[in-house]
Chains A and B, each alone.
Chain A
């Protein structure tokens, strides 16, 4: 069964304190792993797509990496505006194009 597990559920950081969010996945043949940012009451905002182990993508203070079993979202020197819930998703098996989402990690960055 396709499954995505994110940890931790919640993370509190001081401004400037770097850390990483984890996304572990189980899927038959990975065809894409996606990271999204979601602010309260809003739709998920697309951040990155990763397709193969070893791939890395960067955007400002965020860097996503991928191995055969998990992905990490590294946040370097975070700012309060980085506070949000970060969602990880994989394309499910079959041809639906369905995204299998994890529960998310809620990040709070304090000034």
Chain B
């Protein structure tokens, strides 16, 4: 079984809809991250969480919110989806501040 899972894997939605992307991990890591990947722009950090009570904005947090339901679960919400949020979204985890991050398989989101 995969250590970091994301659901759904693919999602097509319409402008203005609220959607949630979910991430679960079995690695036992405290730190979790949400990134988006756009062609030609690389991976950019949306939000990050060091533990259940510690959530922080990344460099492109506008239009997004997150919830850390448990150590193993970190959800990303788009309150009112817009077309330029069409991208690949990745969740990642790490076990310490300077350690490598392990990525999930991604969610391909299309906003029409």
> What is A's interface to B at a CB cutoff of 8 Å?
31-32, 34, 36, 41-46, 49, 51, 87, 89, 91, 95-99, 101-104
> What is B's interface to A at a CB cutoff of 8 Å?
4, 31, 33, 40-43, 45, 48, 50, 56, 58-59, 90, 94, 97-106, 108
Question: How far apart sit A44 and B90, CA to CA, in the bound complex (Å)?
Answer: 9
* Contact assessment for B103 and A91 in the assembled complex, using a CB-CB cutoff below 8 Å: no
Contact of A97 among B40, B97, B104 (CB under 8 A): B97
Question: How far apart sit A46 and B100, CA to CA, in the bound complex (Å)?
Answer: 7
State the Cβ distance, A64 to closest chain B Cβ, in Å.
Answer: 13
User: Quick one: given A96-B56, A98-B48, A98-B58, are A31 and B98 in contact (CB under 8 Å)?
Assistant: yes
User: Quick one: given A96-B48, A97-B94, A98-B48, are A44 and B42 in contact (CB under 8 Å)?
Assistant: no
State the Cβ distance, B60 to closest chain A Cβ, in Å.
Answer: 11
Interface SS of A by simple majority: loop
* Contact assessment for A97 and B100 in the assembled complex, using a CB-CB cutoff below 8 Å: no
For this complex, 6 residue pairs linking A to B, each with C-beta atoms less than 8 Å apart, are: A43-B104, A43-B106, A87-B42, A97-B94, A101-B43, A103-B42
Residue of A nearest to B102 (CB): A46
Question: How far apart sit A31 and B94, CA to CA, in the bound complex (Å)?
Answer: 15
* Contact assessment for B98 and A42 in the assembled complex, using a CB-CB cutoff below 8 Å: no
Known contacts A98-B33, A103-B41, then 15 further A-B pairs from the complex at CB < 8 Å, ordered by chain A residue: A31-B98, A32-B98, A34-B101, A41-B106, A41-B108, A43-B103, A43-B106, A49-B99, A89-B43, A91-B98, A96-B45, A97-B94, A98-B48, A98-B59, A99-B43
